[in-house]
Amino acid sequence: MINLETPKKFRPLVEQAHQVAVHVMRPISRKYDTAEHERPVELDMLAKLIDGMNDGGETGGAGAAGVGSRDSAEQNGNGNGAGPKNKNGSNMSTALSIMETCWGDVGLTLAIPGQGLGNSAIAAVATDEQLKRYGGKWASMAITEPESGSDSASIRTTAVLDEETGEYVLNGEKIYVTAGERCELVVVWASLDRSIGRAAIKSFIVERSNPGMKLDRLEHKLGIRASDTAAFRLEDCRVPKEALLGNPEIDTKKGFGGVMQTFDNTRPLVAAMAVGVARACLDHTREVLTGAGVELDADRPALTQSAAAAKFLALEADYEAARLLTLQATWMADNRKPNSLQASLAKAKAGRTGVDVALGCIELCGAHGYDETELLEKWSRDAKILDIFEGTQQIQLLIIARQLLKKTSAELK
């Protein structure tokens, strides 16, 4: 039987994350939305608290840094994923905590030091030596390029091995790197041989202080303004051999499944962000509607209620569907089950739902929702990026179609 309640062992974590959202994030949300590119110093103490909880094993993963396939294997009792019973592990606990902090503020969640999506990328495929070397550092992820967005396989950044020094030399350009200015590491996607295609795509860990990685600019954005978004140029950027994540061999039969495995971990986290924003919008709108005398009754047919109530209940149903898909994807990751399809289903549904719910709530609240004195208009701006990064809505639908129809990327474009 499926249990739709929050697992008992995670309830303290969820409550802690909610208190952070209420008492730390909400009060400064508008401040850092207005003061774009200003570092939220109030989050430094929060980052230390999260690190302490992770080190103490109290949460099983209180942020993106806590998610990894290795953790899931260990929680199942052994390294091959065979365990005596189902497990709710670090992927689920991270998603649940992210839902709460993004109920507070998405941009501030992305700005928490040490909790970048690059940390999930490292945790997904890094060796024990790499985890020891780079663990505990704030990592962002650099995939998108000026001429390569949704089609990650077409990236032009190159990585050439210098046999004399044993270093990889990276050259190219990366844009829309979340937390790119403030992070300590950047996970850069590059091609070992562009003539081979997607099979040659690998990911590399680059120290933010590397002189070959030059900050070009910081973007001015529609939403998530508390989080910096950077553009970089890689000019003869040298990294050690050990900085390559995963297998350095090019396997044309496998394609670039190794680096794509990253998305199986990170897409549910982005879905969780969208779920958190959607719930914030719904909670606020419920207060506005009930305050205006609109009766909301989920047990009555929509046709017997007011148009406003019917609209709200439809939005709430979409939210519940997105939330359950997200938890399913994280549960599968925790139990070492292939979840590429479910990760894309969650990301597609939650990304679209976050936008639809935010705009629908503004429609229901009228002028009250469009005014800057309330956070609802900000949430509507923040929500849009969650339908774009980590794979756009259209790309997710394409991936889902390929999986369901059992087609390759060459067969279904």
- Quick check: 153 and 408 in contact, CB under 8 A? no
Q: Are residues 192 and 266 in the same domain?
A: no
DSSP state of 24: I
Residue of 273 and 118 predicted with greater confidence: 273
pTM (2 d.p.): 0.92
d(CA 279, CA 287): 12
Give the total number of structural domains in the chain: 3
Lowest-pLDDT range, 65-79, 153-167, 307-321, 350-364? 65-79
CA distances from 197 to 85, 205, 227, 342 (A): 41, 21, 33, 26
Same domain, 39 and 116: yes
DSSP calls for 94-150: HHHHHHHHHHH-HHHHHTSTT--HHHHHHHHH--HHHHHHHTTS-EEEE--BTTBSS
pLDDT tens figures, 256-293: 655 677 788 899 999 999 999 999 999 999 999 999 99
Say if residue 58 is in the same domain as residue 121: yes
Please check the confidence at residue 8 and state whether its pLDDT lies above 90.
Answer: yes
Residue 163 lies in a domain: yes
Is the same domain home to 327 and 385? yes
* 200 plus 261 within the same structural domain: no
Q: Are residues 211 and 96 in the same domain?
A: no
Whether residue 83 is found in the same domain as residue 151: no
Retrieve residue 174's tokens.
């990366």
pLDDT at 129 over 60: yes
Active site residue 390: yes
CATH of the domain at 225: 2.40.110.10
Whether 97 and 235 map to the same domain: the answer is no
List the CATH number of the domain containing 290. Answer: 1.20.140.10
In a domain, 413, yes or no: no
- Of residues 310 and 251, more confidently modeled: 310
pLDDT of 255 reads 57
Domain boundary among 82, 111, 134: 134
CB-based contacts of 254: which residues, under 8 Å, 6+ apart? Answer: 199
Residue 2, domain member (yes or no): no
Task: Answer yes or no: do 114 and 157 share one domain.
Answer: no
Within a domain: 272: yes
Per the domain annotation, does 251 fall within a domain? no
129: containing domain: 8-134
On whether both 101 and 33 belong to a single domain, the answer is yes
Catalytic residue among 58, 316, 390, 411: 390
Q: Say how far apart CA 72 and CA 276 lie, in whole Å.
A: 24
My answer on whether 220 and 349 are in the same domain is no
Whichever domain contains 57, its CATH number is 1.10.540.10
Q: Domain ends where: 114, 134, 154?
A: 134
Indicate if the pLDDT at residue 79 is higher than 90. no
Q: Are residues 151 and 121 in the same domain?
A: no
